[in-house]
């Protein structure tokens, strides 16, 4: 193991043994790419077929064997509004087990630094905008994804509890809505941007005159390119050590209607866009206050159009293997 016994915020040793939980997912794969770019030489990852993070005995055995210095927990059962509404028990149970097993095993086996990644859905549905970290647990959650949110809230409290009880240097961060290469393009269980990319691409290829999107198109959302989140993860591990969670976002938002127009333009779809207002909108607005991470010295660098272009190029290059 790398010598992190006297850790204070600053550069991590590039030979530190870093376990990226969920390294094949959207976030984990971006984190892995960024760590490789930054010169880390001792990365550890396991696929879900190799290690079931819901199984406490398997996770304990993995940590006992690998003894990672640093853990980035990007593992989670995730999905869009349909999946969250349809399988709430799965989202609650699976995520609670995944994060509890990782956090407990890390603390027990001496992991020095850990970053737990949550989601902006942890905040109240009608929180003041932009949403500050202090809004946590001050109001009712969005009912379409409350089970997932509760699991992630439990993870934040777990990190804080481990800090208080054992004095570990574990932190948590809450990214806004994410998109990018390696996303889930499933026609029903994807998030909004990959769902739109697939829908508009297929409509362009087939020559469909219209594309129907869910909801009214009025809700406002913030979107962060996943490679920007990856850079924020390393930045926080090297520059932040506190119990309060840290928001990670871009600091501005747009309507879903405007998002659809932007995605259509990037994909090259020129037909009309219709809206099915019988489908749920979800939270009216969700914009994160990113002043805390900005004050530490980090800010997002990828604009929406550039990020969407990179994502669509990846999708075209991986049509046969894009998930879903």
CA distance 203 to 209: 8
281 annotated to bind ligand: yes
User: Can 240 be counted among the known catalytic residues?
Assistant: no
Cβ 229 vs Cβ 72: under 8 Å: no
CA distance 144 to 148: 9
307 annotated to bind ligand: no
79 annotated to bind ligand: no
103 annotated to bind ligand: no
136 annotated to bind ligand: no
169 annotated to bind ligand: no
Query: How many CA atoms are closer than 13 Å to the CA of 152, on its beta-carbon side?
Result: 29
Alpha helices in 46-145 (DSSP H): 56-66, 81-86, 88-109
Q: Looking at the DSSP assignment, which residues form a beta bridge with residue 303?
A: none
117 annotated to bind ligand: yes
Q: Choose, from 148, 179, 240, 312, the residue flagged as catalytic.
A: 148
261 annotated to bind ligand: no
Both tokens of 283, joined, read: 């939270």
Both tokens of 134, joined, read: 């202090």
Cβ 192 vs Cβ 177: under 8 Å: yes
323 annotated to bind ligand: no
Give the residue numbers of the binding site for substrate: 199, 214, 221, 281
Catalytic residues: 148
Give the residue numbers of the binding site: 22-28, 117-120, 152, 175-178, 191, 199, 214, 221, 281
Give the residue numbers of the binding site for NADP(+): 22-28, 117-120, 152, 175-178, 191
């Amino acid at each position: 193991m790398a010598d992190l016994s006297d850790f204070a915020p600053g550069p991590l040793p590039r030979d530190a043994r870093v376990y990226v939980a969920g390294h094949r997912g959207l976030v984990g794969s971006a984190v892995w790419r960024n760590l490789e770019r930054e010169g880390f030489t001792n990365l550890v990852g396991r696929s879900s077929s190799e290690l079931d993070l819901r199984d406490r005995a398997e996770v304990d055995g993995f940590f006992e064997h690998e003894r990672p210095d640093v853990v980035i927990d990007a593992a989670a059962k995730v999905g869009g509004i349909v999946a969250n509404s349809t399988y709430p028990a799965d989202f609650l149970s699976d995520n609670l087990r995944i994060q509890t097993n990782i956090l407990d095993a890390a603390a027990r086996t001496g992991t020095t630094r850990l970053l737990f990644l949550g989601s902006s859905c942890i905040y109240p549905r009608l929180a003041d905008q932009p949403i500050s970290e202090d809004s946590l647990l001050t109001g009712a959650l969005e009912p379409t994804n409350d089970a997932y949110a509760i699991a992630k809230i439990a993870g934040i409290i777990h990190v804080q509890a481990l800090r208080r009880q054992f004095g570990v240097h574990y932190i948590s961060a809450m990214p806004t809505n994410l998109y990018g290469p390696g996303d889930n393009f499933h026609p029903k269980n994807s998030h909004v941007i990959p769902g739109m990319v697939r829908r508009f691409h297929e409509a362009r290829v087939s020559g469909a005159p219209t594309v129907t999107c869910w909801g009214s198109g009025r809700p406002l959302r913030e979107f962060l390119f996943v490679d920007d989140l990856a850079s924020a993860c390393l930045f926080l591990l090297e520059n932040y050590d506190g119990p309060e969670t840290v928001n990670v976002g871009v600091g501005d938002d747009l309507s879903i209607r405007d998002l659809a127009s932007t995605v259509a333009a990037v994909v090259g779809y020129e037909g009309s866009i219709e809206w099915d207002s019988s489908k749920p909108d979800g939270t009216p607005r969700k914009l994160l206050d990113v002043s805390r991470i900005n004050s530490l010295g980090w800010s997002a660098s990828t604009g929406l159009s550039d990020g969407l272009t990179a994502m669509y190029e990846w999708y075209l290059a991986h049509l046969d293997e894009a998930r879903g």
